[in-house]
Structure 1
């Protein structure tokens, strides 16, 4: 780690410079991130599988990154190098560490982790290691002089409800967010944690990468694309007691394990983060992980780089994402919703950063020092403190009387119709017509018949009836999560036609 840190600084980078690390689950990705932190560089993690060059350009420009470290993507060889040449053609004629691009004026250093591919204007990771020596390591910044609350990382939000924003995170928040979550799920020196999620998600990285330093546990992170290739072998070989995953990935894991008749008796704890846990999945876990006696469900938040809300209570794990962990405080802000909630509190979830710190805020300055983070998530909290996710604030729909239309209930009812694969209810503005965006199971369905049947179904069940319909091949997504804001944009632009 210190060798790489010294190599990065000797290449012309300086403490405080920003480094975008494009990659996922491998040892050098892990080491690169820690090396940036050790050298006083500000790191950011991102999925290397960009849809196009404009996405990479947006990330580099938004974050004002001076360097990028590129690990192989799941797509074609030299994928990231090709994108960079498309964005900055000057790279082909630049000296290493001296890129001067009109499109990306801040970017100077391109570092490729694909050692077999050398290009003009780019370092390989081994070249950066090679620039290090004992003298340069001894001259690394003295971290004992640092404030633990200084900026360590900037991370893009998920971008499910709005275009991705950059969040500032301190060393203190990364370490203590990990400590609080690790203690809650029982990570300790006696077992091993196997991660089946990508490390470019900062809450996952903080928990998995820092847990060995915080709790002394062993961690394994097989390649996650699309399912960890050596997941079963890793669990068996190292007798992993804990499996970190999400509902989508675990469903695939269980399907493959059942087909291959694989048994994993060492797994005693399954930690699911990022979304609700369907009841059928919960039953499958009990059947196939015969020794799994504890199942966690948790709420992951980029702004705290942790899983601040977790539950393992059998009665609530399907419905709720949990209760706040020791070290995190939450509040429910009333949004003036005219909706009956019995004794439960409905509103926008806001959360304090881990105890002893303040939220550095969003870019470009990261100097806001805020007490609370407004998550934008609309939740219901029951009398025991359990939190249930309902929607994002930007996706709420109100009727003319100001009452919230429970679009999640309408969507669930529509999905029961046998020709519907997926349904999303949106509105373009307050009091605007209700639009049902549908994905059909087959293109042979008569859309007019489907529209009539859905309207009748809603009416007969006492639900709001959609005024307009649109049909899509699939919904726009980020990491399996549907982007409703993109659906609204697609309707406005005419990309999706309504009937």
Structure 2
């Protein structure tokens, strides 16, 4: 039979929200002033929506009182804490653009990011774990030691004027967060500015990972992130009764959109278990705060399920949450539903440039589809799957996924060439992901265009081999990628993390694969490792694994 074209659009009776982030917060805080809004366990903070709204208003007006103007960029370089959430809502309220800076960045990446978007202010803590943020900044801007707060003029950071410190102890050239003052004049100015804002104004710049070059600043609007957060919450069936545990980083869309904005658009409570991910702290937060939802990337859920104290915690309050950020192993999904009581857990797929979610499963989807696909297209979003020539392929065929609609970014900040490469003339965002869409509209992500392995003319999708190997009783985690081969073009390589106490040989893994997979999919190289190179958001960096394997093979060849 002839298959329909791989084109879907999210027709919906629920309209898009035509308001700014600030107007939405005003509306929600007025409706549920006494409901819990934010719990930050490490800081001892428990704010109602009325208290959270008041703090957002104070900081929004206070930033304007510093001399910042609508459209100015404000960077935040910090782990998960209350001030991050406040800044996320205060900046757009004042017409400012919040710039998310990866907490793992060091001096080179920091300078690049701040200068690329001409940041006027930077919010940061003195330190977090091994990152001494203030020292790194002072190394870039030694003028900080002799400047007065708000008067910074640093040669290496020519646009930066204000450094706001998330610390009780003052430091030269900085202003403490607690000292941001919202006087009567600034509050009046804030009110006036809010009447002039458009929901199409940019409010957020997020840097893509930069694994293939310098990071690019995806520029997102009120309309982009507010609506995506709202419809994510709709898919999760969030209400003002829900309490969502958010251990994923705020600087990434997963934390600030799928987490914070999904909650606030529904009057739900944001529960922050710690500054960075810790499996034990997350389990404690869920149990003690009676969370109804939990977010995470697959590696986080694996760490929670494998924690030696996992069975001590009462997780029966859980019902929903999102697993996303990288392909979700089927077996892990089953355990999350069974052992963590997350019967309504959803899978979401997207990318920073699309605010981010384009596909999501819903509670009504059968478990088989929730563990094998990324669901159906999000409301008000269009998607098509195309071949190399840009033609839409029939349902069930593999091609590149393209997305269009309210969620697509304005572009990359100050980077017309990369914007044109990603966004075509018809405003389709080229994701670089390989996908199929079935006759019922369910999407399966097959892999990255760049991750696809071509071995002797055979197209191999690493995801398929990874899913198969997750079913091996000794394997806890696995990543599959291609390495160059003179004869076949590429060979399949598998990096494997074994379960504690397990012992199995590479030859045994290969024999296991030969019994069940086509010969060309059997990993030629198998390496057992303790960990994978990761980004802060839990995305595995396969290019670093490929480089390590190439170095090891070259060393072996030269021995």
TM-score range, shorter chain: 0.7 to 0.9
Q: Bigger CA drift: 407-416 or 173-182?
A: 407-416
TM-score of the aligned structures, taking structure 1 as reference length: 0.82
Kindly report which structure 2 residues correspond to 1:63-462, keeping only aligned pairs within 5 A, or say none. Answer: 63-71=117-125, 73-76=127-130, 79-116=132-169, 118-127=170-179, 129-130=180-181, 132-140=182-190, 141-159=192-210, 163-227=214-278, 230-256=281-307, 259-290=310-341, 292-312=342-362, 313=365, 314-335=367-388, 344-354=396-406, 359-364=409-414, 371-398=427-454, 404-409=459-464, 424-427=480-483, 433-435=489-491, 439=495, 461-462=518-519
Task: Give CA deviations for 1:300-331 in whole Å, capped at 9, x if unaligned.
Answer: 42112243311142111222111112122211
CA distance in 2, matches of 1:487, 1:49: 19
CA distance in 1, matches of 2:397, 2:519: 24
CA distance in 1, matches of 2:347, 2:438: 17
Task: Give CA deviations for 1:429-451 in whole Å, capped at 9, x if unaligned.
Answer: 99983255565779xxxxxx969
CA distance in 2, matches of 1:163, 1:38: 30
Q: What are structure 2's unaligned runs of at least 5 residues?
A: 1-55, 499-504
Matched length:
481
Aligned residue in 1 for 2:539:
481
CA distance in 1, matches of 2:74, 2:194: 18
Does the aligned pair in 2 maintain the 1:18–1:43 contact within 8 Å? yes
CA distance in 2, matches of 1:294, 1:30: 26
Aligned-pair CA distance for 1:246: 2.8
Aligned residue in 1 for 2:6:
none
Aligned residue in 2 for 1:446:
none
Partner SS state of residue 404, structure 1: strand
Partner SS state of residue 147, structure 1: coil
CA distance in 2, matches of 1:151, 1:483: 29
Match 2:102 to one of 47, 53, 58: 47
Does the aligned pair in 2 maintain the 1:320–1:389 contact within 8 Å? yes
Does the aligned pair in 2 maintain the 1:68–1:109 contact within 8 Å? yes
Does the aligned pair in 1 maintain the 2:385–2:399 contact within 8 Å? yes
Q: What are structure 1's unaligned runs of at least 5 residues?
A: 443-448
CA distance in 2, matches of 1:411, 1:175: 34
Aligned-pair CA distance for 1:288: 2.7
Aligned residue in 2 for 1:445:
none
Higher relative contact order structure (alpha carbons within 8 Å, sequence separation ≥ 6): 2
Does the aligned pair in 1 maintain the 2:494–2:523 contact within 8 Å? no
Kindly report which structure 2 residues correspond to 1:456-471, keeping only aligned pairs within 5 A, or say none. Answer: 461-463=518-520
Aligned-pair CA distance for 1:393: 1.5
Aligned residue in 2 for 1:5:
60
Aligned-pair CA distance for 1:411: 6.4
Aligned-pair CA distance for 1:238: 4.4
RMSD in angstroms over aligned alpha carbons?
3.9
